[in-house]
Amino acid sequence: MKYIENLSAELTLQKLSEFIEGVLPDRKLEKVLLIHPDYTRQDFSDRLVPLVFKELKKRGLKVLHTLNASGTHRAMSEEEIRKKLGLLNEEFVFFNHEYANPNALTTVGTLNKEFVSEKTMGDLEEALPITLNKLFFEKYDLIIVLSGTSPHESTGFSGGLKSIVPGIAGPDVVGLFHWAAVLIGIPRIIGSVDNPAREVINQACKIAFEKVRSQVLFLNMVYEETDNGILAKGLYTGLDFEGSLEAYRQAVKASQKIHIIYLDKPVKTAVQVIGENYDEIWTAGKGSYKLQRPGVIVPGGEIIIYAPHIKIFHSNPQMDKSMRQIGYHCKDYVKDFLKTHPKFDLNVAAHVINVRGDGTFDPSTGKEDFSFTVTLATAIPEKECKAVNLAYRDPRSIKKEDFESEDCLWIEHGGKFLYDLKREA
């Protein structure tokens, strides 16, 4: 495992270029696959990938395939991919991952019933197939997996093997790790290095790597989002399965110093200003996730997701329909719902719990109680918000000056940082 970092300033292009030159294999690399982050991640891919491309050319690159590790997010256009990768005029062949298309996937193994039961605390009692994008198992001279590391609601931290599961995985294993995370709860899982959801990812990838025919180089980015743009802070590399784990753990150490903001006291109202790279509630829900550490929001407080550009819950019509069908509820409500809807999408079930947060549900009365309100200030009409059990504010009514008191929090770059309370040593 090799890495370069500058947490007090930022990494220059020169330093990154020298580092890339030293970590790419010094041999013929004629056919390469690059697995990369999607449009929801604002990182320094657009500066890093051209450096990688330049070095690959020196090593005889003839064919570059790129695969968007989109998980359950929407596909990206060619223009978006070129902008994301900083390859505006270069020749390459791009692919979007199609997680729900069986023809794009291959089954590489199975997570056995006992493992699934253990990671879901007995909630699921069935073996699940591990399905991944077929491209990952083609023969390449090198596969490069590019990712970023920051606190993540379902995996503790993003990055590393998360680009494989869920990045290029099929629905079953993605649903499992999302559900495993939900059963523990976001307030306890986000910002943790090891957890059952990560164990699902690691086990699925360990099985998958037995069938991978190419050497895999992981490039893990750590960066800071500021008003002046994205600052490159670190790049962590490792080879194949074991190397990916080492690079991820080193990247997490840097992310813990950059991406967690500690508050002196709880707040009553928090406004997450969501950027346009989050263009659906499926991703903008991070604005709720990252404020759910115990004590951050006072009882009876409010989290406002302020995103006037968002018009939909999910860009996939079926998932959007499912989200509207179930609405946003606490874990116990959703578990009760699943008893009568056993085939319901666990990814959607996990999402609605994650956004709505901890609460209680009485099945005899149908009554739910929550410790805080989640409000949408988006282009989604009030009637549709209330129909899914979320509060509504007209986005035109949201003014920064109204949230400048000491019991309020106005957050630019919404959904990017994890908030926690300062704890006494």
Task: For residue 205, give the amino acid letter.
Answer: C
The CATH fold of domain 262-421: 2-enoyl-CoA Hydratase; Chain A, domain 1 (3.90.226)
**What secondary structure letter does DSSP report for 131?**
E
Q: How far is 145 from 209, CA to CA, in rounded Å?
A: 13
Structure-block tokens of residue 412: 């630019």
Which CA distances in Å does 288 have to 59, 108, 136, 317? 45, 35, 33, 23
At 102 the pLDDT is 94
Q: Packing angle between helix 78-85 and helix 45-58, nearest 10 degrees? A: 80
Rounded Cα–Cα distance for residues 294 and 107 (Å):
39
Instruction: Give the whole-angstrom CA distance, residue 395 versus residue 308.
Output: 6
Task: Spell out the domain ranges in the chain.
Answer: 2-258, 262-421
Listed in sequence order, the residues at least 6 apart from 395 whose beta carbon sits closer than 8 Å to its beta carbon are 306, 307, 308, 377, 378, 379
The SS3 of residue 203 is helix
Residue 29 · residue 65 · CB < 8 Å: no
**How do residues 110-135 score in pLDDT, each as one tens digit?**
999 999 888 888 877 888 889 999 99
Check if the beta carbon of residue 179 is closer than 8 Å to that of residue 407: no
2-258 maps to which CATH number? Answer: 3.40.50.11440
**Taking a C-beta distance cutoff of 8 angstroms, is the pair 141, 28 a contact?**
yes
Neighbouring C-beta atoms of residue 189, cutoff 10 Å: 24
Low-confidence ranges of the chain (pLDDT < 50): none
Percent share of the chain, pLDDT over 90: 81
- Note the pLDDT of residue 425: 54
Q: What is the reported pTM?
A: 0.86
Q: Crossing angle of helices 13-23/45-58, nearest 10°?
A: 40
Distance CA 292, CA 286 (A): 10
Q: How far is CA 242 from CA 205, 239, 259, in A?
A: 10, 7, 25
